[in-house]
Amino acid sequence: MAENLINDLLKTIEIKENVEIKDINTYSPLTLAYIGDAIYELIIRTMVISKGDRQVGKLHKESSELVKASTQAEISKSLKDILTEEEERVFKRGRNAKSFTTAKNASMSDYRTATGFEALMGYLYLSHQSDRMLELINTGLKNINYV
């Protein structure tokens, strides 16, 4: 059920032909992370609600656990052996980007790794590779024993 909801969601928010995306390789890694953070959270929230209607506080707690930097870092580390060269390059650009914000509730290492993960999600979304994005998210969640 979650898979169908997420596929429908991605079709709905897919970047349309009339929206011009510049050469994706010219975007800063923090810009990719900015959009990647949003799309990842939307996918996670969709997965969480697909499990059934519950109190909003419980939905928020479960979603927050999956989108926090330490969880994203754990997912990233579990995926490193299956990333393509291009995906690894994007991830590393995001991880190594000099951010002006600091981690509130995470180590700097986890925060930077999570930024790399978000940059990769943004890259996959903007380059119309939603299937690969979902594959990595699902694999990562399985690797950390979420699904």
Give Cβ neighbours of residue 100 (< 8 Å, ≥ 6 apart).
Answer: none
Distance CA 114, CA 127 (A): 20
Sign for the CA dihedral angle at 133, 88, 75, 104 comes to: negative
CA atoms within 13 A on the CB side of 82: 14
* Structure-token pair, residue 126: 């903007």
Q: What are the DSSP calls for 28-46, one per residue?
A: -HHHHHHHHHHHHHHHHHH
Choose the catalytic residue: 37, 81, 110, 131. Answer: 37
Task: Name the helix (H) or strand (E) containing 7.
Answer: helix 2-13
Our answer to whether residue 37 is catalytic in this structure is yes
Active site residues: 37
